[in-house]
């Protein structure tokens, strides 16, 4: 793969199991403008077809079945979003630890350079 990748990215992407990748994919899609657009079109179509439908009104006003579908969607979306947030928090923690280690190494090198320059003066 790539040689110079951040440890947080390696932990998040390369070592992620199937459920973690699925949670990331679903929450990423559900948080997109594409999802909002598709859902808006489906809702408007549902409402229009039930209002002007001449033959069958499978979900007449006040659209109880549509509300049930929203509840089911929310029941599944919430845990997936929480999973993705937990994974992002773990990614941030690993990233912060790596950044801290890098900063400590840079500080040590600067102190070594400073000590070397003082010994020459």
Task: Give me the pLDDT at residue 34, please.
Answer: 95
User: For 4-54, how does the pLDDT look when each residue is reduced to its tens digit (9 = 90+)?
Assistant: 576 766 766 677 788 777 877 887 888 889 999 999 999 999 888 888 876
Q: Which domain does 31 fall in, by range?
A: 7-120
Any domain includes 2: no
Any domain includes 21: yes
User: For 56-84, how does the pLDDT look when each residue is reduced to its tens digit (9 = 90+)?
Assistant: 778 888 889 999 999 999 998 888 888 88
Any domain includes 107: yes
Distance CA 100, CA 84 (A): 24
Evaluate if pTM is beyond 0.75. Answer: no
Domain count, the chain: 1
- Asked if the model's pLDDT at residue 90 lies above 90, the reply is no
Average pLDDT over the chain reads: 84
């Amino acid at each position: 793969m790539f040689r110079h990748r951040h440890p947080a990215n390696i932990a998040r992407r390369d070592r992620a199991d199937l459920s973690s990748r699925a949670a990331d994919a679903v929450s990423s899609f559900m948080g997109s403008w594409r999802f909002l657009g598709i859902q808006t079109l489906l809702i408007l179509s549902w409402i229009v077809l039930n209002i002007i439908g001449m033959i069958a009104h499978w979900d007449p006003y006040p659209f109880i079945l549509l509300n049930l579908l929203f509840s089911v969607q929310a029941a599944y979306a919430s845990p997936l979003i929480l999973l993705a947030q937990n994974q992002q928090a773990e990614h941030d923690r690993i990233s912060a630890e790596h950044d801290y280690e890098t900063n400590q190494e840079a500080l040590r090198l600067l102190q070594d350079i400073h000590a070397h320059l003082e010994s020459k003066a």
